[in-house]
A and B are shown apart, each in its own frame.
Chain A
Amino acid sequence: AQSVSQHNHHVILSEAASLELGCNYSYGGTVNLFWYVQYPGQHLQLLLKYFSGDPLVKGIKGFEAEFIKSKFSFNLRKPSVQWSDTAEYFCAVNANTGGFKTIFGAGTRLFVKA
């Protein structure tokens, strides 16, 4: 069965620090990959996604993620975080495994100190 692992459950950074959140998935076939974000008090929304083409994907608010097929990874990056990036981040995988469904990782809570 497909699964998604997020390496860090809690991350604390100071403003202007660089961010990288790890995400690995277990499925050998074609996948679509997503990062969703949940800001405090708001509902989940899409940050960025990959489904074909350039493996380096750019999303909103300066975030990007790189799909490395050989490593089954889709890490999220931002060169300089802001206090407003404080949120919970979820990696998700969608694979055609004979029944369509999107599986989410456990989430990473990011706290950015002003």
Chain B
Amino acid sequence: DGGITQSPKYLFRKEGQNVTLSCEQNLNHDAMYWYRQDPGQGLRLIYYSQIVNDFQKGDIAEGYSVSREKKESFPLTVTSAQKNPTAFYLCASSMEGGMISGNTIYFGEGSWLTVV
């Protein structure tokens, strides 16, 4: 089935450790995104990538890093510099990064990260 796969679904991290969340899509989409969802704040954009080997900071990029070495993969690393990392993380993708088609974003099922 086509879609976006995030792993792991649940992750516990000790303070001071980096952790990487995986995101893979087989939709042949050009653009990929990472959002963070917190209660009462909706979805906030962390990073996005329109093409391979290129990515841009979103609104809350501090303490996070990404890579886009392959079209289908966009892993997110939550570093120890992120002050409040406990959250629900959503990976998403869309057909293209432009405005031409009013492209729809498709979401993965999310990853819960808890810092203990």
A, B in one complex: yes
Interface residues on B, range: 20 to 34
Residues of B within 8 A of A (CB): 31, 33, 35, 40-45, 48, 50, 56, 58-59, 90, 94, 97-99, 101-110
With A101-B45, A106-B41, A107-B42 known as contacts, the answer to whether A51 contacts B31 (CB < 8 A) is no
Q: How many residues of A contact B (CB 8 A)?
A: 28
Residues of A within 8 A of B (CB): 6, 9, 30, 32, 34, 36, 43-46, 49-52, 90, 92, 94-96, 99-107
Contacts of A106 in B (CB 8 A): 40-42
> What separation, in Å, do the CA atoms of A49 and B102 have in the docked complex?
8
Residue of B nearest to A3 (CB): B59
B99 partner, pick from A6, A9, A32, A50, beta carbons under 8 A: A32
With A99-B56, A104-B42 known as contacts, the answer to whether A30 contacts B107 (CB < 8 A) is no
